[in-house]
A and B are shown apart, each in its own frame.
Chain A
Amino acid sequence: MSRKNIGIVNYGAGNINSLKNTLQNLGYKVSTPSLDHEIRSCDSIFLPGVGAFPEAMKALQITGIDQSLKKFYRSGKPMIGICLGFQLFANKSHEIEPTRGLSFIDGEVIQLPQTSFHIGWNEVNFKGNSKKTFSNKNVFFFNHSYFLQLKSNNILGKSSIKSIKNFPAFYKKENLAGVQFHPEKSQENGILFLDSLLKEMLND
């Protein structure tokens, strides 16, 4: 079986070394594409993200990467968003100023209630296949103050903090997946999560 080629989309979103290393250790070929043909040629892509929504969308638009992402989404190949990357899949965000997103997911990004910060390791309550896999390994690292609000049957993992219960932590619908937490910064649990998610999505 030839090794699958995974691209971590490079739009200046910060450090990607942890994710790259983890994926390589899992046996994948990893690249950091930014040009259209580079993105297109990947078997699967990750959209990472650090910082604020409006800045990130601007960066995607200036580079034209947003168009490449839309094409990739339509191709049906697996696409996974992490933290801000996941939020960018939404229709719109209210962080700093109302900004349109990529509109792959019908939902909006709003601030956590009581201006909470969600920083640290937290439990994710999984639904479906993941529930058994992660029964005692369901703690992951979060670092955000905005979240993607949506009503959907495709929320496969939820998390809770004092000010809000059961907000989306893991979303998956067909070839699109997103996580609010950082699997690449969640030590063993994160590695296990990426491994099982990729196996599932690349074999569909």
Chain B
Amino acid sequence: MIKKRLIGVITVKNSIAVQSMEYSHYLPIGAPEVLIENLERWGVDEIIVLSIDRSQSKLGPDLKLISRIASMGLTTPLSYGGGIRSLEDAVSVIQSGAERVVLDSLLIKDLNQALQISRVIGAQALIASMPLAFIKNKLMHFDYIKKSHLQVSDHILDAINSRKISEVMIIDHKNEGLKSSFQEELLNHFAKKCNLIAFGGVSTPKQVKKLMGIGSIVGVGVGNFLNYKEHSVDLFKGNLKGSVLRS
């Protein structure tokens, strides 16, 4: 049967890979290529690269970075997000070497563009990244460009439910970088048939195991916490290796 995935999430800012905490605080880690090569050696199931300063600086996707990664001869599935403004950008990202594209601010800014991207590159090549939080007990969507929360758009949910977007990465942005803090309740808002990736504040194998047990979860993303010890992927896969997760 199909396995669930332990996904290595690499946040890139000013061309270096960084630890990202609560979407506001950053510590330098090093060269994205070296991190990626290392994750592949560790046997991670998928790599998601998020270039978090590209939309704000209006530079478009970091195609040079994707090309450099691709020319390393990576044999691990790669998804890229950051700065994708249009269909042209999305196609360039795929042609530069990523399997799938991650859309975040474009979903809020221009959902129709996102739907067009889906029609051309295929829904299976599209991941929606949604930083969410509970504000006064209400589930809100974080617009990281405007740094404000808004209601989760019905149109976005429609796009997800009608299979125009294959997977959704739910980011607990408030708990990003904080130990054992990913809020499972964030997932409840989505229909059981959705394919969800949990990310933000996942720091222990126990958490990973619990999340992997949730039906709608297809993958769990770990970012900062993969950088503290050797063989971290093994650590996080724990005894799920060979069963729920591939060994």
Q: Are A139 and B3 in contact (CB under 8 A)?
A: yes
Q: Determine if B97 and A141 form an interchain contact, defined as CB atoms under 8 angstroms apart.
A: no
Give the residues in chain B near A182, CB-CB below 8 Å.
77, 99
Nearest opposing residue in chain B for A160, CB measure: B1
- Is B76 an interface position by the 8 A CB rule? yes
Is the beta-carbon distance between A143 and B218 smaller than 8 angstroms? no
Interface segment out of the listed A57-65, A102-110, A114-122: A114-122
Instruction: Report Cα–Cα, A33/B74, bound state, in Å.
Output: 22
Contact A187:B99 (CB < 8 A) given known A117-B166, A122-B2, A144-B124 = no
CA distance A182 to B97 in the complex (A): 14
A202 to B43 CA separation, bound complex (whole angstroms): 30
Q: How far is the CA of A48 from the CA of B208 in the complex (A)?
A: 34
- For residue A22, CB closer than 8 A to chain B, the reply is yes
A14 to B73, CA, bound (A): 14
Identify the closest chain A residue to B66 (Cβ). A15
- Interface residue SS majority, chain A: mixed
Cα–Cα, bound, A22→B76 (Å): 12
Whether the pair A119, B246 counts as a contact (CB closer than 8 A) is no
A14 to B122, CA, bound (A): 13
Contact A120 B219 (CB under 8 A): yes
Q: Which of B71, B73, B76, B120 touches A52 (beta carbons < 8 Å)? A: B120
Binary contact track A141-180/B, C-beta < 8 Å → 1, others 0: 1111100000000000000110000000000000000000
Interchain residue pairs with CB less than 8 A apart (24): A14-B95, A15-B94, A15-B96, A15-B97, A18-B75, A20-B73, A51-B120, A115-B163, A117-B123, A117-B166, A119-B124, A119-B218, A120-B2, A121-B2, A121-B45, A141-B77, A143-B99, A143-B124, A145-B122, A145-B166, A160-B1, A161-B1, A187-B40, A187-B76
